[in-house]
Structure 1
Amino acid sequence: MAPSSRPNILFVMADDHAAKSISAYGAGINHTPHLDRLAKEGMLFNHCYVTNSICTPSRATILTGTHNHVNDVMTLDSELNNRLPNVAKAMRTGGYATAMYGKWHLGEGIRHEPTGFDDWAVIPGQGEYWDPAFITESGTSNIPGYATDIITDKSLDFIKKTREADPSRPFFVMCQHKAPHRSWECDDKHKELYKDPIRLPDTFTDDYKNRARAAKIAKMRIADDLTYFDLGLVQPDGGSRHGLGDKMVNTWFFTDRKILVPEDITKLKLIDKEDGTVFTFKTEGELTEFKFQRYMQRYLRTIQSIDDNMGRMLDYLEAEGIADNTVVIYTSDQGFFLGEHGWFDKRFMYEESFQMPFLIRYPKEIGKGTVCNDIISNVDFAPTFLDLAGLKVPSYMQGVSFRQLLNGNTPAGWQQVAYHRYWMHNDIIHCAYAHYGIRNQRYKLIYWYNEDFGIEGARPADADHKEWELFDCQEDPLELFNCYHDAKYADVVKEMMALLEDKMVEIGDVPVHFGHWTKSKRPRQVEEAGFSCKY
């Protein structure tokens, strides 16, 4: 295939962007006209899922096209060995100009910095919203301005320089925003947005009584676990007296920053850091709803800058006359809870955290305003990029190209399943159980496990607690009722168990609990590892 006929690929990814906070997905909580353009002029996926709902592992999966037990990036503390093959290396070898800008979060130093890119500039760790530092091959320096604008500027500058040097050379650019990750600091021009109250999610007051213990024990609740720093507040009698000050240095999870509520809640005062407004409350319920509204305001305002900058990119492609030959993708590294089940954050295989937004425009192959309800996963991204570029998909990649889905064709035998595994065994911050599971078009099976939980206040039984959940996503889309032990779902349990077993064997992952595996289908890797199974 001649270079001039191959499409450019612009991959734009946000951090913690829930599908519901893109107006094209229909939740009605905000307005994102430029992201909606991708849906109107291309395709929206309703069932794109993450293999591990946490930043670092998801990014490793997207880059390598492999599951986390293969690329060895399983937790937030993991670092990617940059000697591994990845999609950027394959694209560059295939003649593409390649670049990455923005959030990397896969380690720092010579063994972990980005490879496969003609140019790159990434923020250290989580980075800052304002005047962020960027690491490049030549060193680290701060750039004045707002992070979302700067990351977009760098991406557009690379495209412009590539086209000036050789208009026939296609580009592959990964533009990876920091927003809308915690601590949700918006551009000044968006500070007045979203002041009208947002409707509370139907599950906001979830009591978790019909589900696994993992849901109840998690420390991701808006009512209890958001801090005054998260919400842009000052608490006169709160954490600042402990000497941490008001600047975030990865300490937003500390108890010192929790909102301290006096016995008489009418005596609680919270102060807006920006304008000094004082907030008081009559009841704990009123305080909880205030936290939700404040959280949503801050979160949605950071998204507005992403939408603005997506508009800049789309306008540039149109002005240059290359929109028709450019694949534009918008996604997030995972989903995010926006008050559903009373939570913020992610990690879990519950739908709001598990589902990734995925919008794609490529006029040569994708019809306008199309919607895909087939299941895809982030492990499928890299093979799809290569397929669109006319390049061979290497055998080490575990994902599958979904290019045919873009044409409206579901291939015979398309595996309508998504696999998820969260490996964090000792999450002392959020107390999220390790778990794995499988989802098909109707059902979701989750196995919760943990060893050495090690959290303050956890009962001894929590240290090694194992539990199954089954959800009927058609009859119970809010995932409120675990039907694993319901006799009428007995056959479904068997089918989903077999599906999970087959998937784990296919990708080479090893189960933790073997009581439900049949001897006839005992995973080969379990035998080879020498595990002793009880039947």
Structure 2
Amino acid sequence: MSKYNFPRLGSMFPILLLSLFVSCSGQQKVEKKRPNIVFIMSDDHAYQAISAYNNKLIETPNIDRIAQEGMLFTNASVTNSICAPSRATILTGKHAHLHGKVDNVFPFDTTNITFPQIMHEQGYQTAMFGKLHFGNNPKGFDEFMILPDQGDYYNPEFISKRGDTTITGYVTDIITDLTLDWLKNKRQKDKPFLLFYLHKAPHREWYPAPRHYREFTKRTFPEPATLFDDYAGRGTAAGEAEMSLLHHMTISADNKIYPDVAHELGIEEPSDWGFRIFKSKYGRFTAEQKKQWDEVYGPINEEFKKLYPGMNDSDLLRWKYQRYMQDYLGCIAAVDENVGRVLDYLEQSGLSDNTIVVYTSDQGFYLGEHGWFDKRFIYDESFKTPLLMRWPGKIKPGSVSDEMVQNLDFAPTFLEAAGVHIPDDMQGESLMPLLEGTPEKWTRDAVYYHYYEYPGFHAVKRHYGIMTKDYKLIHFYYDIDEWELYDRKNDPNEMNNVYDDPAYKDVVKELTQKLYHIRQKYGDSDSLDQQFIQKYKERGIIKFNKP
């Protein structure tokens, strides 16, 4: 007989069973407190084209729901207004000079640890569907189906762990179908999840779905006040940028004039790029898709043939603007519809109450302001990004925040929400004080920006700068040495550089010091800029004509 007096198993079984039940229930309760996260991001979606911000151009009722049930950020911005660097910043919580993806060409430092990797290690099920834009194997994801590079609007190809595949249909609908299929059929119900739902739209060259181009090509949209900007109030950079609707938006790829019609009218493009892109995209259509397209865009081409010979530059600019808006906003209509599909499922499935939903874009975009399309500048339309967040029980419905937040802040926010340690090398700040209604705990009063890709597409010069709620100070460097200061309250359209205005002498001094300190804080410097320039030269990524 044992010297230890163990009770018989029969008498202990109910106690053991109860103990196990209590333990498992406790674990389930803890698990349920960890929120799911649905991160919705579109590509080049201007905040001006979300009706929660302004409904002059379009109504976006489904995206607006996130703000109505959560928080709208009016001073959200990016650290570098170009696609791949912005996405790398979101994933790492670091500025571009640290994660290495300073532009769309320069490589991402794959030794970086991303927040999805951390959350996956901490028990989150992770999935990504849509456009990542760099890297074919995103780290830290249980499942992904992503577009190669920019992807296509019609009949897109996808990359996955199981290999490449082409899916017939319209990309915004397909990405949503993949997302909903995962939520319904592949989600592990005993785990919290992190879901990246990433739209290609409304990235150039703006090909809407048939249901939307039939409607939107009939609409006329209000022109921005600065459509005919002559850049007289600013420095060299604005005047030399190559993103003019009149001169740089292609008549074929962008405005959907068939190449043979353009040639018939004697229209010359800056290069044959526009014609090649149109032929490539048009060539992806199925016979039925081509028939539907020609039914709508054929008459547009015929009308343009009649109008073009009598057009002056102002007429052509106005025509291009309307064509741009019709297709760009038609793409957004599909995004809004499909966001609604996902929000509806979250509610119907009972997931809404414990799910953080974020809607944002990888940067802002010009919708004709200053006569431009595209992005890249620190000026507001490019630099500011839409940000709407919903988290039932945490975020007060209908909240609005004007605090200075950036895409740099997503990683630490999600990690804190999940109860996971934030790595010390992340440079963003958790948005939790703002989400929980304690803005007094938010200490940031300025954000930092740095753009690198010059010489390059659209010819936006290298620059860095700092923005507060009241002012924006910018330094353009490399081939020029120019400073600009804008009074955001008194000059919201940023038309007049007041850097040399004596009335702003003290502001210049204060912001210059603040810019110096924020560059130190984030580890950026002139010497680091020179290192990147040298790396570009060595790799032959960009051919430099200037010293």
Q: What TM-score do you get using the length of structure 1 for normalisation?
A: 0.85
- Provide the rounded CA distance (Å) in 1 between the counterparts of 2:450 and 2:232: 24
Secondary structure in structure 1 of the residue aligned to 2:358 = strand
Task: Say which of 314, 327, 352 aligns to 1:285.
Answer: 314
Q: Are the counterparts in 2 of residues 182 and 230 from structure 1 also a CA contact under 8 Å?
A: yes
Change (3 A) 1:251 1:409: farther
- Provide the rounded CA distance (Å) in 2 between the counterparts of 1:472 and 1:348: 17
Question: What is the aligned partner in structure 1 of residue 168 from structure 2?
Answer: 144
Gaps of at least 5 residues in structure 1 are 253-270, 451-463, 515-535
Report 1:21-40 matches (<5 A).
21-40=49-68
Quote the sequence identity (%): 43
- Provide the rounded CA distance (Å) in 2 between the counterparts of 1:423 and 1:3: 43
| Offset from partner CA, 1:405-434 (integer Å, 9 cap, x none) | 01221144611211110011211x311101
Secondary structure in structure 1 of the residue aligned to 2:117 = helix
* 1:301 to 2:330 alignment: yes
Secondary structure in structure 1 of the residue aligned to 2:75 = strand
Change (3 A) 1:233 1:342: same
Larger radius of gyration: 2
Question: What is the aligned partner in structure 2 of residue 324 from structure 1?
Answer: 353
- Provide the rounded CA distance (Å) in 1 between the counterparts of 2:298 and 2:522: 49
- Provide the rounded CA distance (Å) in 2 between the counterparts of 1:127 and 1:45: 29
Question: What is the aligned partner in structure 2 of residue 193 from structure 1?
Answer: 215
- Provide the rounded CA distance (Å) in 1 between the counterparts of 2:268 and 2:509: 51
Question: What is the aligned partner in structure 2 of residue 182 from structure 1?
Answer: 204
- Provide the rounded CA distance (Å) in 1 between the counterparts of 2:314 and 2:523: 47
Question: What is the aligned partner in structure 1 of residue 449 from structure 2?
Answer: 420
| Offset from partner CA, 1:143-199 (integer Å, 9 cap, x none) | 111111111112222222344xx4231110111110000010001111133333211
Secondary structure in structure 2 of the residue aligned to 1:336 = coil
Question: What is the aligned partner in structure 1 of residue 540 from structure 2?
Answer: none
Report 1:287-436 matches (<5 A).
287-412=316-441, 414-427=443-456, 429-436=457-464
- Provide the rounded CA distance (Å) in 2 between the counterparts of 1:145 and 1:274: 24
Q: Are the counterparts in 2 of residues 326 and 362 from structure 1 also a CA contact under 8 Å?
A: yes
Q: Are the counterparts in 2 of residues 87 and 386 from structure 1 also a CA contact under 8 Å?
A: yes
Secondary structure in structure 2 of the residue aligned to 1:182 = coil
Q: Are the counterparts in 2 of residues 55 and 333 from structure 1 also a CA contact under 8 Å?
A: yes
Q: Are the counterparts in 1 of residues 448 and 465 from structure 2 also a CA contact under 8 Å?
A: yes
| Offset from partner CA, 1:31-50 (integer Å, 9 cap, x none) | 11101111111110001010
Task: Say which of 477, 487, 491 aligns to 2:492.
Answer: 477
Secondary structure in structure 2 of the residue aligned to 1:468 = strand
Q: Are the counterparts in 1 of residues 71 and 395 from structure 2 also a CA contact under 8 Å?
A: yes
* 1:231 to 2:258 alignment: no
Q: Are the counterparts in 2 of residues 272 and 278 from structure 1 also a CA contact under 8 Å?
A: no
Q: Are the counterparts in 1 of residues 465 and 473 from structure 2 also a CA contact under 8 Å?
A: yes
RMSD (CA atoms): 2.1
Change (3 A) 1:247 1:2: farther
Task: Say which of 517, 523, 533 aligns to 1:508.
Answer: 523
Secondary structure in structure 1 of the residue aligned to 2:385 = strand
CA apart distance, 1:79:
2.9
Question: What is the aligned partner in structure 2 of residue 209 from structure 1?
Answer: 232
CA apart distance, 1:114:
0.7
- Provide the rounded CA distance (Å) in 2 between the counterparts of 1:367 and 1:511: 43
Q: Are the counterparts in 1 of residues 56 and 222 from structure 2 also a CA contact under 8 Å?
A: no
CA apart distance, 1:102:
1.0
| Offset from partner CA, 1:450-499 (integer Å, 9 cap, x none) | 2xxxxxxxxxxxxx211000001011111011010011111100111111
* 1:154 to 2:178 alignment: yes
| Offset from partner CA, 1:254-296 (integer Å, 9 cap, x none) | xxxxxxxxxxxxxxxxx94476532114322111100000000
- Provide the rounded CA distance (Å) in 2 between the counterparts of 1:288 and 1:11: 36
Question: What is the aligned partner in structure 1 of residue 42 from structure 2?
Answer: 14
Q: Supply the AA of the counterpart residue of 2:505.
A: A
| Offset from partner CA, 1:53-86 (integer Å, 9 cap, x none) | 0001000000111110000000110232334210
* 1:493 to 2:521 alignment: no
| Offset from partner CA, 1:290-349 (integer Å, 9 cap, x none) | 000000010000001100100000100111011111111000000000011110000000
Change (3 A) 1:117 1:19: same
Change (3 A) 1:512 1:295: farther
CA apart distance, 1:28:
1.6
| Offset from partner CA, 1:356-391 (integer Å, 9 cap, x none) | 000111111011111111110001111001111111
Q: Supply the AA of the counterpart residue of 1:92.
A: H
Q: Are the counterparts in 2 of residues 17 and 336 from structure 1 also a CA contact under 8 Å?
A: yes
Secondary structure in structure 2 of the residue aligned to 1:60 = helix
Secondary structure in structure 2 of the residue aligned to 1:62 = helix
Gaps of at least 5 residues in structure 2 are 1-28, 282-295, 530-547
Question: What is the aligned partner in structure 1 of residue 151 from structure 2?
Answer: 127
Question: What is the aligned partner in structure 2 of residue 61 from structure 1?
Answer: 89
Report 1:65-104 matches (<5 A).
65-104=93-132
- Provide the rounded CA distance (Å) in 1 between the counterparts of 2:426 and 2:448: 15
Structure with bigger helix share is 2
- Provide the rounded CA distance (Å) in 1 between the counterparts of 2:517 and 2:120: 35
CA apart distance, 1:94:
1.2
Report 1:245-264 matches (<5 A).
246=275, 248=277
Change (3 A) 1:327 1:495: same
- Provide the rounded CA distance (Å) in 1 between the counterparts of 2:350 and 2:63: 20
- Provide the rounded CA distance (Å) in 2 between the counterparts of 1:160 and 1:246: 42
CA apart distance, 1:100:
1.0
Secondary structure in structure 2 of the residue aligned to 1:285 = helix
Q: Supply the AA of the counterpart residue of 2:43.
A: D
Secondary structure in structure 2 of the residue aligned to 1:288 = helix
- Provide the rounded CA distance (Å) in 2 between the counterparts of 1:72 and 1:203: 35
Q: Are the counterparts in 2 of residues 101 and 120 from structure 1 also a CA contact under 8 Å?
A: yes
Which stretch shows the higher mean deviation, 59-68 or 231-240?
231-240
Change (3 A) 1:436 1:273: farther
Secondary structure in structure 1 of the residue aligned to 2:484 = strand
